[in-house]
A and B are shown apart, each in its own frame.
Chain A
Amino acid sequence: MTSELQEPQPSRLHIEPMTSEFEEPQPSRLHTVIASVDRLAGSVFIFPTVLALLLLSIFPLLASLYVSLARFKIAKGGFTLNFVGLDNYQKLFIGSERTHFLGSFAPSTPLSWIVFGVIVMALAIFLARYFLNTRVSIGGLVGRLLLTLGLGALTWMLVHTLWGDGRLGTVSTTLVYVFVGIFFQYILGLSLAMLTVQNLPGRRFFRVVFLLPMMITPVGVAYMFRMLTDTSKGPFTPIWQALGLVDFSWVNNAWGARTAILIADIWQWTPFMFIVLVAALESQPVEPVEAATVDGANPWQIFQHITWPAILPVSMTLILIRLIEAFKIVDLPNVMTNGGPGTATQSLTYHAFINWRGLDLGASAAVAYMLLFLVTFFGMIFVNLIRQRVVETL
């Protein structure tokens, strides 16, 4: 008895037959049915949720994948989706949408070669260290090779479109919005958070004020900044005139327009960084800070050795969330510049929207899939290589 009862039971489902073995050596038909039903219960209860998930997320994802491989056409009484293979992707990389998507590539210059060479060297060192220092696994190797190739290709694109006669495409423009925007949002958010955790007069008031931009709808922010940057009719017109900028417009210049959009984006999203960092700063233990102060550490040393490590995990998560969100920017360029001048301020989402508007649903879905790929690529890099290491070193 003991030996049988002491045997570990792999799951609850096995208990019933065993118990019945003691009570009824020959299990009745009813009990068999009940046992079967019981075995199915878990699956059945979870089925509606699985179905809802499939319907709401997996099927649309697959359907849009099919749309990205098809061409939409109006037909009698409805529409048709004709399978065209990789035509829509081909159009983005080597066809009529190439310049719009990847940008206009300038001829290579010594500077572009130097920058590209430095990045390639860094990637080579990264790969070499992996081979020399760790046990090589197939998954790890494939991941690192993909990362190296992806970053190499993106670097090649950026060094040939960012300066000289090159012109940014929607991929590069989106990357500029994401990385430049997040950098300034984090720095400003952290600075403001550091200020408002000090015992300064009016700090509660300013905490609320600093949060306000996040509460405004992005379209409202976009219209506000469109008005502010208008040199002939906006509220800052006297200032522009005093500076001699009467015949100047932000939107006539590609970088001027991108800067205006970046300022609006930074203004809107700094509060998000700010509020989370305030919480992180306030939740750090006070004892180490007090001890360091007693030991004569200056404020910078306290920040570098105590505060910074304490808020680093939160900061990494915060940046990851903003990274994923920032890739989807569309409202600001749509309202502030209509994507112009030319296509200079169009993001990937805006690009997909323009294709959708022109009824090119296939190309629109293809752009959306490339955006998904980019977000996943950078998200994976961030999670696997940066965040993990930072957290491990703490």
Chain B
Amino acid sequence: MKSNNMLTRVLSILIMFSVLLTACGAPAATEAPAQTEAPEVTEAPATTEEPAATEEVPVTGKMYEGVTVNLLTFVGPQVAEPLQRRGPDFTELTGATINVITVPNSELYQKALTDMATGTNAYDAFLFAPSWIVDFAPAGYIEDLTPRIEADPAIEWDDVAPFFQDFNSYEGKVYSIPLDGDMHMVYYRIDSLEEAGLEPPKTWDDYLNVAKTLNGQDLNGDGEPDYGSCISKAPAQQSYWWIWSIAAPYIQSQGNTQGTFFNTEDMTPLVNNAAFKRALEVYKETGQYGPPDETNQGVGDSRGLFISGRCALTIDWGDIGPLAIDPANSKVIDKVGAIVTPGSTEVLDRETGELVPCDETTCPYAVDGVNYAPYASFGGWAGAINAAAEDKAKDAAYAFLSYMAQPAQSNADVVVGATGYNPFRISQFEDQQAWLDAGFSQTAAENYLSGIKASLNSPNMVADLRIPSNQKYIQVELDRILAEYIAGNLTTDEAAQQLYDSWEAITDEVGRESQLQSYKATIGAP
């Protein structure tokens, strides 16, 4: 009996070992099917050698039958909505399924990066900030799209405004396809300013003056006092971009190659000086003429307030234009003007760190003594492809991004405010018909498009920061310090000093020389 007991134990152990061995051997077993799928892999290079597939999409149809493209982007409804809406149309045309996965804006960079860096590669394509390609392209995470674009006449690449072509490129190669063009502008209530005998603001001091005058007045006829200025200032959202629109004309006056974020001599941050401190003060003062919970408001909140007629002024990307003509939600149809972000009559002297008056030397591009520096913040949502995705998925992903960017789709999307897409093609600025068809009046269309064109054509335009770790400089450190500043936890001097120190620490961490070279390359500095 004892022997039987022992044998039972021995047998149990043997069975358990065999189970363990089987379990350990499992990966080998799962690899086998991958090998049996070899024919699919061998087909792929042939497909990638024919990137012109996009133009054939409507003709050939079902060429990506069975292929699923996992596309990661920011939580809708804006931005993700057109992808989700047009995905089924694309499936109908090509057979490829577009699976749009969304995450909060503040987590998008991390999700994309960790997915590719750890080799998880759960996503085949991304719709994110083109400024991030400087992190992803050198690491080989994302696909060089240049050959595909060159072989794809349907995308009409030459029609994409040169600034956006450049912004989606790294070292001369295109890594992302723009579906959106972003440029900050100031929007104002034409009727309210006229009634008060005020001119649209030319400088940030004018902006404060208009906001102060109209704050507390009833701007939408509901008998309640309204606000002079609405700017979303919630931390961890998008508040860090507004401050740069205010700071830009105080800091940069000699064109984009001069550099707005860093000194092009030694990569020291241009924030601990009178110009940036003045911008901080303006930014904080706007809060006095805004809604009480402005420090907790996101872009959606401030847009909602503006189109419901509760604000005299706001700063935003191009979205306000189409949103303001939406009869379902807007109470300010044909009452909204769009202008280049205000400028300054003083500019930073980089030797002394003080502000000096504008003259022909200090502000060569000034208009009527005002130095403008419109800021192309963010650069617009752009699609990139994971270099480690399967070839079929890459082809289908490119075809979908091209489809979305092609004029037939894009021209319809940029005129709708809810899409979150703004014009980025030359034809979209030149041809007003699509805007008129969308419901713009002739005046509103001219006003809106001229505002964007004036910004894009400015010789002193400021491009967003595009150096490695730009997300950490702007969306982490600037965001945190700005939140502390408007909460009253830091004085202007402390905020400027803390930002300077934290940016210096990042630069030292990443490498000063490489960051300097990268910064100079992205702004075209000598």
Residues of A bordering B, CB below 8 Å: 16, 19, 34-35, 37-38, 40-41, 44-45, 48, 71, 74-79, 96, 100, 104, 167, 230-232, 246-252, 254, 337-344, 354, 356-360
User: Does B9 lie within 8 Å of A38, measured CB to CB?
Assistant: yes
User: Does A340 lie within 8 Å of B139, measured CB to CB?
Assistant: no
Cα A389 to Cα B168 in complex, Å, equals 66
Shortest beta-carbon distance, B290 to chain A, in Å? 11
Shortest beta-carbon distance, A10 to chain B, in Å? 19
Residues of A contacting B234 with CB < 8 Å?
338, 340
User: Does A357 lie within 8 Å of B13, measured CB to CB?
Assistant: no
B489 at the interface (CB under 8 A from A): yes
Shortest beta-carbon distance, A227 to chain B, in Å? 12
User: Does B484 lie within 8 Å of A232, measured CB to CB?
Assistant: no
Shortest beta-carbon distance, B232 to chain A, in Å? 11
Proximity bits, B109-145, A CB within 8 Å = 1, else 0: 1100100011100000000000000010011100000
Pairs of residues from A and B, 8 with the lowest C-beta to C-beta distance, nearest first: A342-B487, A358-B476, A341-B487, A249-B293, A342-B484, A249-B292, A251-B296, A79-B117
User: Does B139 lie within 8 Å of A167, measured CB to CB?
Assistant: no
Shortest beta-carbon distance, B36 to chain A, in Å? 27
Residues of B contacting A337 with CB < 8 Å?
296
B434 at the interface (CB under 8 A from A): no
Shortest beta-carbon distance, B102 to chain A, in Å? 15
Residues of B contacting A104 with CB < 8 Å?
489
Shortest beta-carbon distance, A233 to chain B, in Å? 9
Cα A246 to Cα B484 in complex, Å, equals 24
> Which of A71, A79, A344, A359 has the most chain B CB within a 10 Å cutoff?
A359
User: Does A79 lie within 8 Å of B118, measured CB to CB?
Assistant: yes
User: Does A77 lie within 8 Å of B484, measured CB to CB?
Assistant: no
Residues of B contacting A100 with CB < 8 Å?
480
Give me 15 other A-B pairs in contact (C-beta within 8 A), A44-B17, A359-B113 excluded: A16-B6, A35-B6, A37-B10, A44-B16, A75-B139, A76-B140, A79-B117, A96-B501, A232-B292, A249-B291, A249-B292, A340-B234, A340-B235, A357-B106, A360-B476
Count of B residues near A, CB < 8 Å?
Answer: 51
Please give me the residue from chain A that is nearest to B138 by CB atom: A76
Residues of B contacting A74 with CB < 8 Å?
113, 117, 135, 139, 468
Proximity bits, B481-514, A CB within 8 Å = 1, else 0: 0011111110000000000011001000100000
Shortest beta-carbon distance, B493 to chain A, in Å? 15
Shortest beta-carbon distance, A229 to chain B, in Å? 9
Shortest beta-carbon distance, B229 to chain A, in Å? 15
Shortest beta-carbon distance, B334 to chain A, in Å? 26
Residues of A contacting B119 with CB < 8 Å?
78
Residues of B contacting A96 with CB < 8 Å?
501-502, 505
User: Does B487 lie within 8 Å of A41, measured CB to CB?
Assistant: no
Residues of B bordering A, CB below 8 Å: 2-3, 6-7, 9-10, 12-13, 16-17, 20, 106-107, 109-110, 113, 117-119, 135, 138-140, 234-237, 291-293, 295-296, 468-469, 471-472, 475-477, 480, 483-489, 501-502, 505, 509
Please give me the residue from chain B that is nearest to A229 by CB atom: B293
Identify which of B10, B295, B485 contacts A34 (C-beta below 8 A): B10
User: Does B483 lie within 8 Å of A252, measured CB to CB?
Assistant: no
Shortest beta-carbon distance, B392 to chain A, in Å? 22
User: Does A252 lie within 8 Å of B20, measured CB to CB?
Assistant: no
Shortest beta-carbon distance, A245 to chain B, in Å? 9
Cα A224 to Cα B276 in complex, Å, equals 38
Cα A343 to Cα B486 in complex, Å, equals 11
DSSP majority for the A interface?
A: mixed
A sample of 22 inter-chain contacts (CB < 8 A) reads A35-B6, A37-B13, A38-B10, A41-B9, A74-B113, A104-B489, A167-B489, A231-B292, A232-B292, A249-B291, A249-B296, A251-B293, A251-B295, A252-B295, A338-B235, A339-B235, A339-B236, A340-B483, A342-B483, A342-B485, A358-B471, A359-B471
Please give me the residue from chain A that is nearest to B468 by CB atom: A74
Identify which of B2, B16, B110, B480 contacts A359 (C-beta below 8 A): B110
User: Does A37 lie within 8 Å of B9, measured CB to CB?
Assistant: yes
User: Does B487 lie within 8 Å of A248, measured CB to CB?
Assistant: no
User: Does B472 lie within 8 Å of A34, measured CB to CB?
Assistant: no
User: Does A71 lie within 8 Å of B106, measured CB to CB?
Assistant: no
Residues of B contacting A250 with CB < 8 Å?
293
Cα A167 to Cα B293 in complex, Å, equals 21
Residues of B contacting A38 with CB < 8 Å?
6, 9-10
Cα A45 to Cα B119 in complex, Å, equals 35
Known: A78-B117, A96-B502, A342-B487. A357 touches B509 (CB 8 A): no
User: Does A340 lie within 8 Å of B296, measured CB to CB?
Assistant: yes
Known: A356-B110, A358-B475. A71 touches B292 (CB 8 A): no
Shortest beta-carbon distance, A105 to chain B, in Å? 13
Residues of B contacting A248 with CB < 8 Å?
292
Cα A78 to Cα B9 in complex, Å, equals 47
Shortest beta-carbon distance, B119 to chain A, in Å? 7
User: Does A343 lie within 8 Å of B484, measured CB to CB?
Assistant: yes
Residues of B contacting A249 with CB < 8 Å?
291-293, 295-296
Known: A340-B487, A344-B487. A359 touches B472 (CB 8 A): yes
Residues of B contacting A35 with CB < 8 Å?
6
User: Does B486 lie within 8 Å of A341, measured CB to CB?
Assistant: yes
Please give me the residue from chain B that is nearest to A226 by CB atom: B296
Shortest beta-carbon distance, B389 to chain A, in Å? 15
> Which of A74, A78, A104, A248 has the most chain B CB within a 10 Å cutoff?
A74
Cα A230 to Cα B468 in complex, Å, equals 39
Shortest beta-carbon distance, A30 to chain B, in Å? 9
User: Does A354 lie within 8 Å of B295, measured CB to CB?
Assistant: no
User: Does A357 lie within 8 Å of B110, measured CB to CB?
Assistant: yes
Residues of B contacting A359 with CB < 8 Å?
109-110, 113, 469, 471-472
Cα A167 to Cα B488 in complex, Å, equals 11
Residues of B contacting A252 with CB < 8 Å?
292-293, 295
User: Does B139 lie within 8 Å of A76, measured CB to CB?
Assistant: yes
User: Does B6 lie within 8 Å of A34, measured CB to CB?
Assistant: yes
Shortest beta-carbon distance, A15 to chain B, in Å? 9
Shortest beta-carbon distance, A56 to chain B, in Å? 16
User: Does A357 lie within 8 Å of B476, measured CB to CB?
Assistant: yes
Cα A231 to Cα B138 in complex, Å, equals 48
Cα A37 to Cα B109 in complex, Å, equals 54
Known: A231-B292, A248-B292, A340-B234. A254 touches B13 (CB 8 A): no
Shortest beta-carbon distance, A92 to chain B, in Å? 14
Cα A251 to Cα B486 in complex, Å, equals 12
